[in-house]
Chain A
Amino acid sequence: MTTRLGILRDSEQKMPDVTFTVDGKKLTAPAGTLLIDACRKAGIEIPAFCYYPGLSLQAACRMCVVRQEKVPKLQTACTTMVAEGQSFITESEEIAAARKGTIELLLGNHPLDCPVCDAGGECELQDMNFKYGAGESLYTEAKRHRDEQQWSPAVFYDRPRCILCYRCTRICGEGMDVWALGIENRNASSVIAPNLGNRLDCEQCGMCIDICPVGALTSGAYRYKTRPWEMNHVSTVCTHCGDGCKVTLGIRTSTEGAEIIRGDNRDKSGINNDFLCAKGRFGFDFVDHPDRLTKPLVRNSAGTLEPATWEHALRIAATKLKEIRDTRSGAAIGVIGSNRTTNEENYLLQKFARTVLGTNNIDHERTTDYAAFARALAGHPGKTATLREIGRAPAILLIGGDPTNEHPLLAWQIRTNVRLNRARLYIANSKPIKLDRQAKATQEIPAGGYKNLAEFLDSGQSDFSKAVLAEESLIVIFGEEFRSAAVDELVAWGLKRGNIRFAYLGDHSNSRGAADMGLFPDLLPGYVPVTAPGAFAEYPNLPSTHGRTLPQMFEAAANGELGALFVVGANPISRLELDPEALRDTLVIVQDLFLTETAALADVVLPAASLYEKSGTVTNSFGDVQLARKAADRPGVRPDFEILVRLAGAMGVDVKTLVPFAHGSVTGDLGQSRGAQAGEADRHSVWLEANGLEPKLSPFDSLALLDEIQRLVPGYAPSESFDRFSLFAGNDVPSELGNSPGFVPISTLRGPDLIAPNHDGLFTSATLGRYCRGLTELEQHQETVKEAVAAAD
């Protein structure tokens, strides 16, 4: 690897603690710790532009200079490794003067166009200048100028603003293993340069933009849209893939409500820490896509969908559902849930289906076989690995898949773990993947040969299997290549070996949550069989026979056996290539963001809020549960949770039986769903949260259901690790798959045909991805540059 400086910190190598003095305070840290790290840990901030934790050292900005006792020159804290008995001064007149001098030099050529700079207000150079710089400048020479460049739809580069800290080149190379940015020329003519001369051929993750301490690298999605201080920042969870990155959305009040201006990773507290891919960073623009549904639609007598009031649409939907239920029984209704709605919504949906509609005909577009995974692990808690654990595991076996494209955060965790902790990565795949570069060993597997892998490893005949078997502790990561029996076998193999934990990859932001929350015809939340409901016996009128799977619902519809199909945030017509004709005689009700192929067939379409417009918890592929917070606000749309409650209400149900809000005598404040910026009710909720109270005052407050989920769903029960305060503070808390009771597979409800993985890449995201214009542009850009590169070869 071309890290210019060979200093890699090896976390496996534990050095003895040493004691040293900083500004008169005695500090202790392992020998060899960088002084800047040791100080930051002790709350002593040492300024730096080029130093960035986890990236190679540069010593280029000279801002972190400190005085070391008995050393003649000022030393850079970013390259000084602490040793016993050393003594340092980090703030003094001399040091302040040095920093001031350096900033003054830096500001010479810097354009000082702060009033129009995107970074103005959140610029490290401004902050540093505020602290150390001079109020006046003696620079009277001409500034160097170069025109701004657009490298891709996502990345713009303004050379004069660049302070050459080399964070971008390092995050792109060392962090992303993309190496698309370099340095050209020398002296004051030095510039950052993209790999195609003036264009970028890369993964378009935008990491370079976020890591830029100034406004040199700006985002195509954000530039010149606002001043940073006009935004509020809401830390929530990305709505796209199954990795569950925390994303910070920059929100600005608009005439429409609250619009999302920017996505970034400013909240580094998430599993993803520094990381965010193109989807997380730029894939929020679907929210204000012109095709976004903002009014309910009802099919009129002429057969066309026309806008309707919420009351009207809900009344139609409720009346018809009730009628079909009462005349033809619940078995004549099918319900399809979503991979992107929250756990509370999914839970409510299945509860609604089972207790209000009276049917177990509920399913979702399964992207991987979580049911098989849960069954295989039943009774074996502690055998799954969180995404954080993957980031520090000593050894990882990755079977199949292509995390770089389909699970970018997983790929980042693995890469970072290999780079910083020298983790050993083993890859068994039918094709070469980019992570091979980090692998200690790779093993080619025939495309259909994954099911024999355990046997192959056990044989111990290849160097690969010997190395894998020699690992004391191993995390095995696999995906949809393993389904039903193959999952059982692989997990059984791992359980037998004892030192193995698993991660099983699904596609979307809450695919795992959809499975965990029981969007199955045979399984209740927590993979509890409907035939043996256990604690769920408290559900009134719970049907005890299993229902229809998604394909079976369509078969039933085609045969005239399905009176109604209720689809929440799913597009099975397009995704599973089902025949729309099957639904000719079926009442179809769809809740979605857009008029998808499925919604277009509906009799009633209810415009739903996206994940960015509501609150609730989601569970990523690894079982990490996180709180999604409402960021944007759009008039006309309602969270799926609220729609379900209203629908149930319109059907005459006492909604308290569905949502246990308003315990005791407290009555609801219906302002909860108005959003985090919307005034009184929200300040109330903020106060409640701040005082450790849950704001479960409204039937539309989805978190009111979290109690019930935690009470009834195995794996989500309160525990030391599944800590509600930690969850509400914005941390990821692990759910537990091994607590499920286990169940007998029902052959008709299983089978590989139920699993339809989407294999979304860096710029696609199933149906939702079509409405992410920024991602489409990036994909087109990448296609164009790839063609150009191919033509040049």
Chain B
Amino acid sequence: MPRLVSHPDEVKIVSRRFGQGATNIDRYIELGGYEAAKKALAQGPDWIINEMKASNLRGRGGAGFSTGMKWSFVPKQSAKPKSVLVNGDESEPGTCKDHLIFLHDPHSVIEGTIIAGLAIGAKTGFIYLRGEYRYLLEIVEKAVAAAYAHGFLGKRIFGSDTEFQIITQTGAGAYEVGEESALMESLEGKRGIPRIKPPFPAVVGLYGGPTIINNAETIATVPHIISMGAAPYAEIGTPRNGGTRLFCLSGHVERPGVYELPMGYNLKKMIYEVGGGIAGGRALKAVVPGGSSTPVLLPEEIDIGMDFDQVGKAGSMLGSGGVVVIDDHTCMVEFALRTIAFYQHESCGWCIPCREGTDWLKKSLSRFHAGFGRAADIDNIRRIAENILGRTFCPLGDAAAMPTIAFVKKFRKEFEDHLNGRPCPFAKEGVPQLAVV
């Protein structure tokens, strides 16, 4: 069982029921569960969407798009059935928040899905979990069964005339499937290759019908917003960045873990106070602020509020909330290599720049880190990344390119230290550690 952590600065909304036994539906109801769904059912779709807009909730998957806006794009009338699709394909390195939501509070996802369905007039919701989360899928499936047994799902939810069904689905190992259109492909039993947009999912999505796709954390937040009201929720965060967020603090911090903090919480404070500072009393070298695809920040760049806009201004991205803390004993070339090895492995292979670019980068960085680098490689690695940037079919190419460019730009000295046949300065026993998957 993953360790649960806690800090006084936390504002527990989404994580409020963690460790409270809320996987049990009766316990969930006791803790106020399914009241939001009933409220939403009574208030109707327009009200729900307005509340969502007013809450300033922005998608927790990484792109940070306004959830209320996204829902409002779904046409009222549709010949094909509409769907809600919950993205639980949590795969961005550094991110493990949905893991805890499914583990501790699966009903919040179910309830959020029902509310989303009510908002757009969908009769079916799909909850997709990555294949590695088998034990979580079993928890979610039990919770869904319980919700059916209580009449919260089915032909007449909560005794109303409204129908809503939830279907669970498992992946089988593919980061790319976290991209919303690839997720739909995967759910339809296909290779996880993104679709051409337009049409956007809100118009033509799952099985050809209008679909909204939201991250599991986003969906789990929805019942809380409906219950507490949009305005109080929005007030918690910073302007245009409503509420709280589950930050996954990992790497070289004293107290790693998932903390729910207000949007805009200071990153430096998060690392040094919430996380208890750098483990073993070492010095901070770098921070990856929002999952492995976000450009790395230097220690002098981390005195910023963690919301979409402020991190963006600092030249990186809030991403999926995975804050990876790196101490001064770490080889940044190896870190860059491990990052790109991941994107190479996960590239779907569809488009040329991503498929070939990540492959080239991985090979070059492997060689470079192994001590066979040449001076020209440093600029070339950056150039290859720039050749990928903005030119790929889906955002995965950018996810690989952006951090690579930042590593070279901000840690050029470390790259240079690897040159001239010298092995990695950080390698143990003089043998470079090769990360080859």
User: Using a CB–CB distance below 8 Å, which chain A residues touch chain B?
Assistant: 2, 4-7, 49, 57-63, 65, 73-74, 79, 98, 101-102, 104-106, 108-109, 138-139, 141-142, 144, 163-164, 183, 185-190
Listed residue (A4, A163, A186) with the most chain B CB atoms within 10 angstroms of its CB: A186
B358 engages A187 (CB within 8 Å): yes
B5 → chain A closest CB, angstroms? 35
Segment among B243-251, B386-394, B409-417, B426-434 that sits at the interface with chain A: B386-394
- Does B142 interact with chain A (Cβ within 8 Å)? no
- Does B344 interact with chain A (Cβ within 8 Å)? yes
Closest to B392 in A: A62
A49 to B360, CA, bound (A): 21
**How many pairs, one residue from A and one from B, have CB atoms within 8 Å of each other in the complex?**
103
Q: Which residues of B contact A164 (CB under 8 A)?
A: 349-350, 352, 355
Q: Which residues of A contact B196 (CB under 8 A)?
A: 5, 7, 57, 59, 79
Q: Tell me the residues in window 177-199 of chain B with beta carbons closer than 8 Å to chain A beta carbons.
A: 185, 190-191, 193, 195-196, 199
A187 engages B349 (CB within 8 Å): yes
A63 to B350, CA, bound (A): 13
- Does B174 interact with chain A (Cβ within 8 Å)? yes
Known pairs A6-B204, A102-B353, A141-B364; A188 contacts B347 (CB<8 A): yes
- Partner of A4 from the list B193, B352, B355, B391 (CB cut-off 8 Å) is B193
A-B contact pairs, 13 of them (CB 8 A): A49-B352, A60-B350, A74-B390, A79-B196, A102-B353, A144-B359, A164-B349, A186-B174, A186-B176, A186-B349, A187-B349, A188-B359, A190-B349
A164 → chain B closest CB, angstroms? 7
Closest to A189 in B: B349
A105 engages B351 (CB within 8 Å): no
Q: Which residues of A contact B367 (CB under 8 A)?
A: 141
A62 engages B391 (CB within 8 Å): yes
Q: Which 5 A-B pairs have the closest CB atoms?
A: A101-B387, A190-B349, A141-B363, A105-B356, A188-B359
A141 to B352, CA, bound (A): 17
A367 to B356, CA, bound (A): 55
- Does B376 interact with chain A (Cβ within 8 Å)? yes
Closest to B390 in A: A73
A244 → chain B closest CB, angstroms? 37
- Partner of A106 from the list B204, B352, B392 (CB cut-off 8 Å) is B352
Closest to A79 in B: B196
A681 → chain B closest CB, angstroms? 50
Q: Which residues of B contact A102 (CB under 8 A)?
A: 352-353, 387, 391
B353 engages A187 (CB within 8 Å): no
Question: 6 extra interchain contacts, Cβ-Cβ under 8 A, other than A102-B352, A108-B356?
Answer: A60-B350, A63-B352, A79-B196, A106-B356, A183-B349, A187-B348
Known pairs A102-B387, A105-B384; A59 contacts B191 (CB<8 A): no
A696 → chain B closest CB, angstroms? 54
Q: Tell me the residues in window 190-239 of chain B with beta carbons closer than 8 Å to chain A beta carbons.
A: 190-191, 193, 195-196, 199, 204, 208
Known pairs A105-B356, A142-B363, A190-B355; A65 contacts B347 (CB<8 A): no
Known pairs A59-B196, A108-B356; A6 contacts B208 (CB<8 A): yes
Q: Which residues of A contact B347 (CB under 8 A)?
A: 186-188
Q: Which residues of A contact B345 (CB under 8 A)?
A: 187
Known pairs A62-B391, A188-B356; A4 contacts B351 (CB<8 A): no
Binary flags per residue of B318-359, CB closer than 8 Å to A gives 1, else 0: 000000000000000000000000001111111111011111
A75 → chain B closest CB, angstroms? 11
B400 → chain A closest CB, angstroms? 11
Q: Which residues of A contact B199 (CB under 8 A)?
A: 6
Main secondary structure of the interface of B (DSSP, over half): helix
- Does B6 interact with chain A (Cβ within 8 Å)? no
A65 engages B391 (CB within 8 Å): yes
Q: Which residues of B contact A7 (CB under 8 A)?
A: 196
- Does B420 interact with chain A (Cβ within 8 Å)? no
Closest to B387 in A: A101
A61 engages B387 (CB within 8 Å): no
A109 engages B359 (CB within 8 Å): yes
Closest to B349 in A: A190
A692 → chain B closest CB, angstroms? 47
B152 → chain A closest CB, angstroms? 34
A699 to B131, CA, bound (A): 78
A419 to B313, CA, bound (A): 49
- Does B380 interact with chain A (Cβ within 8 Å)? yes
A6 to B393, CA, bound (A): 17
Q: Which residues of A contact B390 (CB under 8 A)?
A: 73-74
Q: Which residues of A contact B355 (CB under 8 A)?
A: 164, 187-188, 190
A751 → chain B closest CB, angstroms? 55
Closest to B355 in A: A188
Q: Which residues of A contact B208 (CB under 8 A)?
A: 6
Known pairs A61-B351, A187-B347; A101 contacts B391 (CB<8 A): yes
Closest to A183 in B: B191
A142 to B195, CA, bound (A): 32
Listed residue (B176, B195, B196, B352) with the most chain A CB atoms within 10 angstroms of its CB: B352
B54 → chain A closest CB, angstroms? 29
A55 → chain B closest CB, angstroms? 13
Closest to A186 in B: B349
A6 to B185, CA, bound (A): 12
A156 to B199, CA, bound (A): 37
B240 → chain A closest CB, angstroms? 20
A180 to B399, CA, bound (A): 34
Q: Which residues of B contact A105 (CB under 8 A)?
A: 352-353, 356-357, 360, 384, 387-388
Known pairs A65-B391, A101-B353, A102-B353; A186 contacts B359 (CB<8 A): no
Closest to A72 in B: B390
B234 → chain A closest CB, angstroms? 28
A141 engages B391 (CB within 8 Å): no
Q: Which residues of B contact A79 (CB under 8 A)?
A: 196
Q: Tell me the residues in window 355-386 of chain B with beta carbons closer than 8 Å to chain A beta carbons.
A: 355-360, 363-364, 367, 376, 380, 383-384, 386
Closest to B199 in A: A6
A521 → chain B closest CB, angstroms? 61
A606 to B349, CA, bound (A): 59
A183 to B349, CA, bound (A): 10
Q: Which residues of B contact A108 (CB under 8 A)?
A: 356, 359-360
A163 engages B352 (CB within 8 Å): yes
A197 → chain B closest CB, angstroms? 18
B348 engages A186 (CB within 8 Å): yes
A382 to B185, CA, bound (A): 49
A185 to B349, CA, bound (A): 9
A188 to B340, CA, bound (A): 13
Q: Which residues of B contact A189 (CB under 8 A)?
A: 349
Closest to A81 in B: B198
A5 engages B195 (CB within 8 Å): yes
Q: Tell me the residues in window 55-75 of chain B with beta carbons closer than 8 Å to chain A beta carbons.
A: none
Q: Which residues of B contact A190 (CB under 8 A)?
A: 349, 355
A141 engages B360 (CB within 8 Å): yes
A105 to B360, CA, bound (A): 8
A193 → chain B closest CB, angstroms? 12
Q: Which residues of A contact B357 (CB under 8 A)?
A: 105
- Partner of A188 from the list B349, B384, B392, B393 (CB cut-off 8 Å) is B349
Q: Which residues of B contact A138 (CB under 8 A)?
A: 376, 380, 383
A163 to B174, CA, bound (A): 22
A60 engages B352 (CB within 8 Å): yes
A507 → chain B closest CB, angstroms? 42
A183 to B191, CA, bound (A): 9
Q: Which residues of B contact A49 (CB under 8 A)?
A: 352
A80 → chain B closest CB, angstroms? 10
A783 to B196, CA, bound (A): 40
A606 → chain B closest CB, angstroms? 57
Q: Which residues of A contact B392 (CB under 8 A)?
A: 62
Q: Which residues of B contact A57 (CB under 8 A)?
A: 196
A185 to B388, CA, bound (A): 21
B351 engages A60 (CB within 8 Å): yes
A164 to B193, CA, bound (A): 14
Q: Which residues of A contact B356 (CB under 8 A)?
A: 105-106, 108-109, 188
A684 → chain B closest CB, angstroms? 50
A678 to B357, CA, bound (A): 51
